[in-house]
Amino acid sequence: NKLVSWQYIKPLESWNAALQLNMEKQQLEQIHPADIADLLEEMDYKRRSAFIEHLNSRQTIDALAELELETQVEIFRQMEQQQALTILAELPPDEVADILGELPVDKMEGLLDLMAEEAEGVRELLQYAAGTAGACMTTKYIRLSGWMTVSQAIGEIRTFASTAETIYYLYVMNERGFLEGVLSLRELIVAEEESVLYDLMRRKVVAVTPKETTPRIAGIMAKYGFLALPVVDGQGKMLGLVTVDDILSMLVEERDKFDAPPLLAVSARIGRER
Ligand code: ATP
Ligand code: MG
């Protein structure tokens, strides 16, 4: 039941000297990573590092994943290589690609060279343009085969759930990685344990190519009410998965980009006229 030391809790801004954070560590653990990310956004680098020391590693990673790309990049620019590697290993590959893509090339290559099996997937993601399915897809999804029974599939999900981006949809692929069908977790758990996925899955799968743009993907998700969509190449080979939360954050980023400038432009014009 350790308290966050007062020495680290400085006012966020000099004009707001009264604002201090007084919280038990236990309480800190209850704050959602997205809210922690908001706090981190407000701090300068020094305070940020001091604050992060009070988070457990799960919280640090989840909060880092929720930060604005700009802030993530600022953090990774200054971070020791070893620490950077430890954190990058825990972040989803699409986040990693976004961050590395913004770092100086020598730093990016240095990190990629030292990353384990992750590097290959990240290198692949790095080649797609920002705002496309390719750039925001994850390569961490659960791969199932059509001949599996429901209970084998559930076993497979148990094994890989902690590292997969989503488990709500289960994609059935052949041994060469071509997408053959899909079923939802709900459909799987209500099915007979001995049924075979081939007999349960939907064969008409809605998918996007890596070049598909965020607004169009959002449109498809809204139309069908899907929480995720598979990304396939021209031949139908599965490349990745885009989830609705990634698409939503990208839409929100776009909206903020387009919403902010007119306000600034107006005040700038008024300023000049005086
Ligand atoms: P819940 O809504 O509680 O998550 P559900 O089974 O209704 O459970 P939905 O997300 O509503 O799941 O999906 C509806 C149906 O669409 C499911 O049968 C699912 O297998 C199917 N489905 C999911 N993704 C695709 C896809 N990319 N292409 C075609 N069908 C899909
Ligand atoms: Mg449903």
CA 117 – ligand 2 centroid, Å: 35
Phi and psi at residue 159, in whole multiples of 5°?
A: -70, -40
* The two three-digit tokens of residue 21, written as one number: 């954070």
Closest ligand relative to 238 C-alpha: 1
Q: Say if residue 166's pLDDT is above 50.
A: yes
Q: At 179, which helix (H) or strand (E)? A: strand 179-184
CA 33 – CA 43 distance, rounded (Å): 15
What pLDDT, on a 0 to 100 scale, did the predictor assign at position 48?
86
Atom of ligand 1 nearest to the CA of 183: 20
Q: Say if residue 194's pLDDT is above 90.
A: yes
Q: ipTM beyond 0.90?
A: yes
C-beta of 187 in contact with ligand 1 (< 6 A): yes
C-beta of 206 in contact with ligand 1 (< 6 A): yes
What pLDDT, on a 0 to 100 scale, did the predictor assign at position 240?
93
DSSP code for 8: G
C-beta of 182 in contact with ligand 1 (< 6 A): yes
Give the confidence band of 14 by pLDDT, cuts at 50, 70, 90.
low
CA 112 – CA 99 distance, rounded (Å): 12
Closest ligand relative to 187 C-alpha: 1
Q: Are 102 and 73 in contact (CB under 8 A)?
A: yes
C-beta of 141 in contact with ligand 1 (< 6 A): no
C-beta of 190 in contact with ligand 1 (< 6 A): no
C-beta of 226 in contact with ligand 1 (< 6 A): yes
Q: Say if residue 183's pLDDT is above 80.
A: yes
Fold classification of 6-128 (topology level):
MgtE N-terminal fold (1.25.60)
State what percent of residues in the chain have pLDDT above 70.
86
Atom of ligand 1 nearest to the CA of 182: 20
Residues of the chain with CATH 3.10.580.10: 143-248
C-beta of 161 in contact with ligand 1 (< 6 A): no
Closest ligand relative to 141 C-alpha: 1
Q: Report the C-alpha dihedral over residues 258, 261, 265, 271, rounded to 10 degrees.
A: 160
Mean pLDDT is highest, among 34-43, 82-91, 187-196, for: 187-196
CA 263 – ligand 2 centroid, Å: 40
Residues of the chain with CATH 1.25.60.10: 6-128
* The two three-digit tokens of residue 188, written as one number: 């799987």
What pLDDT, on a 0 to 100 scale, did the predictor assign at position 269?
47
Nearest CA to ligand 1 atom 10: 226
What pLDDT, on a 0 to 100 scale, did the predictor assign at position 199?
97
The pLDDT of 266-270, averaged and rounded, is 46
Mean predicted lDDT score pLDDT of the chain: 85
* The CATH number of the domain covering residues in 143-248: 3.10.580.10
Q: Say if residue 74's pLDDT is above 70.
A: yes
pLDDT tens for each residue of 204-258: 999 999 999 999 999 999 999 999 999 999 999 999 999 999 899 888 887 877 6
State what percent of residues in the chain have pLDDT above 90.
40
C-beta of 242 in contact with ligand 1 (< 6 A): no
Comparing 117 with 226, which gets the higher pLDDT?
226
C-beta of 179 in contact with ligand 1 (< 6 A): no
**Residue 143, beta-bridge partner list:** 171
